[in-house]
């Protein structure tokens, strides 16, 4: 049996783990990068495709919100609960009247687009999530998050997010262990040099997108939320219960497939309240042109007006109103958010290409494209150095490399693997598969080596 020093064992362990991540998880990271790049590259295309619904050319004074909503309700048929209204406050923008339709999926709403001047119906389509994306980008988002397979498909994106940071840091550590002492020029080293350079350039982005992706994930996301709750890092939301208990908002609800609230029986509603609430919100300091008004869903709930401009500077202040007296019940200001809540908000918006506008888009397009090249280059390097014989040496396995570690090295890696497996369940399950495959390969290779030594 071949033996090696603990330092060499660490290098072998890093090499095999990096190889397994690239071989088995690399395709999922590649697809997540590709679809994420498509998502951030298409806002302008979506704007052009749905321009008729999003904008109107009518000149004149805007009609009261009550009349705009009434025009939308005629199209909706009066059977759907009015979920929210996004007034067209900027010149040329239409008003978006959104209804909760039980036939739609989680975080989806039927939106009627109304010309605020002429009351013409400009569009009728499904919108999705807090960002209000339209059907084109909604499909891309479903591809990015779940392969359009629902909750089962979301395991793919969680797998990619769970391992991308390990692949990034492991690749950098592997470079330190294996970099040649002098510059070597050959086909493999030239490709390796590009792979390493891209790894260094993209390192910060891979760590950021892995972290923000995990906060959206199905299994690890719950653990992240519990940690944030314990550390008081959750984002405060305006109180909408007249009893007074402040609630917590989930910035990732639209990606986790949460509904935008339970369906409640339709309550009698005076549509003129929307105009009164908007005026009161303006007096309360809600000054963004992008905002959403949500009526009370039940007798013990409040109306809310929330800024939804998540560009820089971020405008996400909110106020709630008692529906009986129409007095301000509660308010939240982004300036008063805890630092970690602000960082989470900015991280999520940067991940979605919203925070810095066009600059954010271009940066993410470059990042996503480079990450795809990095993965392809990694496959190319493996193909050039693939073993000539299928069995290979047992020293080139995780199991044998781990056995070559010192006692403290074995303890650290074993305990660390268990803790990460608990915190990131999809990583833990996939790591168990890696170890099982590797153990079977190790046993087979060891048996071949033993047979060869006995015949000599």
Query: Closest Cα to residue 321, out of 272, 262, 264, 274?
Result: 274
Query: Which of 79-83, 150-154, 209-213, 400-404 is predicted least confidently?
Result: 400-404
Task: Please report which confidence band the pLDDT of residue 6 belongs to, taking 50, 70 and 90 as the band edges.
Answer: confident
Q: pLDDT digit string (tens) for 270-287?
A: 899 999 999 999 999 999
**pLDDT at position 334:** 95
- Domain residue ranges of the chain, discontinuous segments joined by +: 6-28+155-192+358-451
User: What pTM value is reported for the model?
Assistant: 0.88
Mean pLDDT of the chain: 88
Q: pLDDT digit string (tens) for 47-57?
A: 999 999 999 99
Which residue has tokens 């008004």? 293
């Amino acid at each position: 049996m071949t033996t090696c020093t603990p330092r060499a064992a660490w290098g072998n362990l890093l090499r095999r783990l990096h190889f397994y991540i690239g071989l088995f998880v690399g395709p999922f990271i590649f697809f997540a990068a590709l679809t994420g790049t498509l998502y951030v590259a298409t806002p302008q295309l979506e704007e052009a495709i749905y321009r008729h619904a999003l904008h109107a050319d009518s000149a004149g004074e805007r009609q009261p919100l009550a009349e705009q909503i009434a025009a939308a309700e005629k199209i909706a048929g009066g059977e759907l609960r009015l979920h929210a209204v996004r007034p067209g406050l900027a010149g040329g923008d239409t008003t978006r009247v959104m209804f909760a339709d039980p036939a739609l999926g989680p975080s989806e709403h039927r939106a009627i687009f109304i010309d605020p001047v002429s009351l013409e119906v400009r569009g009728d389509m499904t919108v999705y999530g807090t960002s209000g994306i339209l059907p084109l980008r909604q499909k891309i988002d479903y591809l990015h998050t779940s392969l359009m397979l629902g909750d089962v498909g979301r395991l793919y994106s969680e797998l990619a997010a769970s391992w991308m940071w390990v692949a990034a840091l492991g690749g950098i550590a592997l470079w330190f262990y294996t970099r040649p002492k002098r510059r070597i020029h050959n086909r493999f080293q030239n490709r390796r040099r590009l792979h390493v350079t891209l790894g260094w350039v993209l390192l910060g982005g891979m760590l950021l997108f892995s972290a923000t992706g995990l906060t959206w994930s199905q299994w690890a996301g719950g653990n992240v939320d519990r940690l944030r709750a314990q550390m008081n890092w959750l984002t405060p939301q305006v109180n909408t219960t007249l009893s007074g208990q402040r609630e917590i908002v989930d910035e990732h609800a639209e990606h986790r497939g949460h509904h935008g609230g339970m369906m409640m029986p339709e309550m009698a509603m005076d549509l003129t309240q929307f105009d009164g609430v908007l005026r009161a919100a303006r007096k309360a300091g809600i000054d963004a042109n992008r905002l959403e008004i949500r009526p009370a869903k039940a007798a013990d709930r409040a109306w809310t007006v929330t800024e939804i401009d998540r560009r820089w500077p971020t405008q996400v202040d909110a106020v709630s109103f008692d529906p009986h007296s129409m007095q301000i019940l509660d308010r939240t200001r982004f300036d008063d958010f805890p630092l970690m809540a602000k960082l989470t908000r900015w991280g999520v918006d940067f991940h979605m290409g919203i925070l810095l506008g066009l600059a954010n888009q271009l940066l993410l397009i470059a990042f996503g494209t480079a990450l795809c090249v990095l993965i392809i280059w990694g496959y190319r390097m493996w193909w050039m150095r693939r073993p000539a014989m299928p069995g290979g040496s047992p020293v080139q396995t995780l199991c044998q490399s781990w056995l070559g570690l010192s006692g403290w090295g074995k303890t650290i890696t074993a305990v660390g693997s268990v803790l990460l497996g608990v915190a990131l369940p999809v990583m833990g399950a996939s790591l168990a598969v890696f170890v099982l495959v590797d153990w079977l390969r190790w046993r087979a290779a060891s048996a071949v080596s033993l047979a060869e030594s006995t015949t000599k």
